[in-house]
C-alpha cells in the first residue's frame, strides 16, 4: 500500500490503538514508529528523519512524531486524523479522573492517598531530571546555561525569556560534537494545496489564541498560557512541565503545588501523551470546555510547526546555529526542571515517610528499571498499608 492510498480511517485506527496502550516516553516513541513501520507506510529512514525533525522546534516530541507520520501519509487531513485519535483515549480518561478527583477529593482517605502519590511523583521527576541532565549537560557551557536558567527562574525572570535567551546562547556558543548525522535525505517540495492546508490550520490556531486573549476570562487566560507554552517549549512532557508550573502554580495560582503534582501523576498513569495533564488543569478551571481548550492549546502550535517543518526540514537541519540553539534550550530545561522538582519536593515531602517513598520511587525506576505504572501501583499499595497501620 503506497502512502498516498492509506485511508484516513486506517491512520485513525492505528494511532487510536497506540494512544490507548502506549505508556512512557521511549516506549511510546517506539510504538508510534512501529505502527507505521509494520504496515509499511514509512521506511526506517523516513521515521528516523521524523524523529530528528521533531526535536528541531518547540512542542512535545511524541505527538509531533504522530503528526509527522500522518502528514507524510495524507497531508493535513492525515496529521489531523492521527493526532486526534492518538489523544482521544487519554483525554477521555483524564476527564473521568479529573471529575473523580475534584468531586471526591475531600473524602478523608483520598488526601492521604494522594500524599503518597505526590511523593512518588517527586521521585520520578528526580529520575527524569537526572536522565535529562545526562543527555544534555555534556560540556561546561551547557552546564552554565542550565545553572543560569535555574537561577533566573528562582528569581522569577519570565520563563519564555529564559527559553529565548537559551536559544540565542546555544546558537552563538554551542556546537554538537563531530559525528555521524542522524537521518538525512531530501524531502519533496510541498504543493500549493498542502501549504494552503497548513495556512488554514495555522489561522485557526492564531484565531483561537486571539479569542482567548480577548475573552477576559480565567479560561481564556489559561488557554493563552498554554498556547504560549506550546509555542516555545522544547522536548517532552518532563521538559515542558516547568513552564506550565510557573504559570499555573507560581504566577496565577490556579492550582496548588499538591494539585499540580496530582495532575502530573494522573498524566503518568494514563496512556498516550504525558502532557494530557493540561486537561486536568483545564477541567479544574472551566470543566469539560476548559479541558478541551487546554488540550488543544498545548498541542496545536507544534502541530502546525510539524507540518511546516516537514516541508523545510532538509534545508535547516544541517545548519550549525540550529543545532547549537537546540543544545542550548535543552540544557536550560535541565535547570528549569531541577527548580520545579526542588519546589515540589519542599511542598510534598513533609515527613520522613514521604521522603522514603520518593527515594523508593527513584530507585525503582533508575536502578530496577520498573515501569511507571508498576511503581505507582506498588508504591500506593505500600503507602496505603503504612497509613492504615498508623
Q: What is the pLDDT of residue 109?
A: 67
Residue at 105 is within a domain? yes
Query: Does residue 235 surpass a pLDDT of 80?
Result: no
Cα radius of gyration (the chain): 21
Q: What is the pLDDT of residue 187?
A: 45
Tell me: the pLDDT tens digits for 113-160?
A: 878 888 888 888 898 889 878 888 999 999 999 999 999 988 888 777
Q: What percent of the chain has pLDDT over 90?
A: 46
224 pLDDT tier (thresholds 50, 70, 90) = very high
Distance CA 310, CA 67 (A): 10
Question: Backbone dihedral region of 185: left (phi > 0), alpha (psi from -120 to 50 degrees) or beta?
Answer: left
Q: What is the pLDDT of residue 378?
A: 92
Cβ atoms of 310 and 79 within 8 Å: the answer is no
Cβ atoms of 327 and 136 within 8 Å: the answer is yes
Alpha carbon 380 to its chain's center: 24
* DSSP class per residue in 244-274: HHIIIIIIS-SS-HHHHHHHHHHHHHSSS-G
Q: Residue 365's closest CA among 355, 378, 354, 353?
A: 378
Residue at 181 is within a domain? no
Output the pTM of the full model.
0.78
Q: Which range has highest mean pLDDT (2-11, 96-105, 210-219, 241-250)?
A: 210-219
Q: What percent of the chain has pLDDT over 70?
A: 90
Distance CA 259, CA 283 (A): 12
Cβ atoms of 72 and 64 within 8 Å: the answer is no
Strand, helix or coil for residue 23 = coil
Query: Does residue 55 surpass a pLDDT of 60?
Result: yes
Residue at 232 is within a domain? yes
Residue with the three cell numbers 537541519: 317
Mean pLDDT of the region 180-205: 72
Residue at 231 is within a domain? yes
Cell matching residue 196: 494552503
Tell me: the pLDDT tens digits for 284-312?
A: 999 999 999 999 999 999 999 999 988 88
Any idea how long the chain is? 390
Q: How far apart are the first and last CA of the chain?
A: 62
Cβ atoms of 267 and 87 within 8 Å: the answer is no
| Dihedral angle sign, alpha carbons of residues 211, 216, 220, 225 | positive
56: containing domain = 3-175+186-389
| Averaged pLDDT score across all residues of the chain | 86
Residue at 25 is within a domain? yes
Residue at 333 is within a domain? yes
Residue at 257 is within a domain? yes
Give the count of domains, the chain: 1
Mean pLDDT of the region 92-97: 94
Residue at 180 is within a domain? no
Amino acid at each position: 500500500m503506497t502512502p498516498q492510498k492509506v485511508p484516513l480511517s486506517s491512520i485513525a485506527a492505528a494511532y487510536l490503538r497506540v494512544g490507548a496502550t502506549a505508556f512512557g516516553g521511549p516506549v511510546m516513541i517506539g510504538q508510534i514508529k512501529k505502527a507505521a513501520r509494520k504496515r509499511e507506510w514509512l521506511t526506517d529512514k523516513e521515521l528516523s528523519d521524523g524523529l530528528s525533525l521533531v526535536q528541531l522546534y518547540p512542542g512535545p516530541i511524541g505527538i509531533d512524531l504522530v503528526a509527522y507520520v500522518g502528514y507524510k501519509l495524507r497531508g493535513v487531513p492525515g496529521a489531523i486524523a492521527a493526532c486526534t485519535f492518538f489523544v482521544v483515549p487519554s483525554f477521555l480518561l483524564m476527564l473521568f479522573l479529573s471529575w473523580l478527583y475534584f468531586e471526591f477529593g475531600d473524602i478523608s482517605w483520598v488526601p492521604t492517598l494522594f500524599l503518597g502519590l505526590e511523593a512518588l511523583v517527586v521521585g520520578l521527576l528526580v529520575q527524569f531530571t537526572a536522565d535529562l541532565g545526562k543527555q544534555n549537560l555534556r560540556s561546561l557551557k551547557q552546564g552554565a546555561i542550565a545553572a543560569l536558567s535555574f537561577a533566573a527562574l528562582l528569581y522569577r525572570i519570565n520563563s519564555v525569556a529564559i527559553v529565548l535567551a537559551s536559544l540565542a546562547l546555544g546558537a552563538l556558543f554551542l556546537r554538537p560534537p563531530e559525528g555521524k548525522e542522524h537521518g538525512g535525505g531530501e524531502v519533496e517540495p510541498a504543493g500549493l494545496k498542502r501549504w494552503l492546508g497548513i495556512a488554514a490550520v495555522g489561522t485557526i490556531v492564531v484565531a483561537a489564541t486571539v479569542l482567548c486573549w480577548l475573552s477576559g476570562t480565567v479560561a481564556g487566560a489559561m488557554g493563552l498560557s498554554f498556547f504560549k507554552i506550546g509555542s516555545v517549549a522544547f522536548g517532552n512532557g518532563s521538559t515542558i512541565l516547568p513552564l506550565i508550573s510557573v504559570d499555573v502554580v507560581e504566577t496565577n495560582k490556579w492550582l496548588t503545588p499538591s494539585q499540580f503534582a496530582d495532575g502530573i501523576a494522573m498524566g503518568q498513569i494514563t496512556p498516550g501523551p504525558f502532557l494530557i495533564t493540561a486537561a486536568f488543569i483545564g477541567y479544574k478551571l472551566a470543566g469539560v470546555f476548559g479541558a478541551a481548550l487546554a488540550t488543544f492549546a498545548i498541542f496545536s502550535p507544534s502541530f502546525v510547526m510539524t507540518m511546516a517543518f516537514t516541508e523545510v526540514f532538509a534545508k535547516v537541519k544541517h545548519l550549525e546555529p540550529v543545532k547549537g540553539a537546540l543544545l542550548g534550550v535543552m540544557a536550560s530545561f535541565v535547570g528549569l526542571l531541577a527548580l520545579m522538582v526542588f519546589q515540589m519536593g519542599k511542598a510534598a515531602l513533609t515527613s520522613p515517610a514521604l521522603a522514603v517513598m520518593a527515594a523508593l520511587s527513584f530507585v525503582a525506576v533508575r536502578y530496577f528499571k520498573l515501569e511507571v505504572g508498576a511503581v505507582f501501583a506498588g508504591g500506593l499499595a505500600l503507602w496505603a498499608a503504612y497509613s492504615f497501620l498508623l
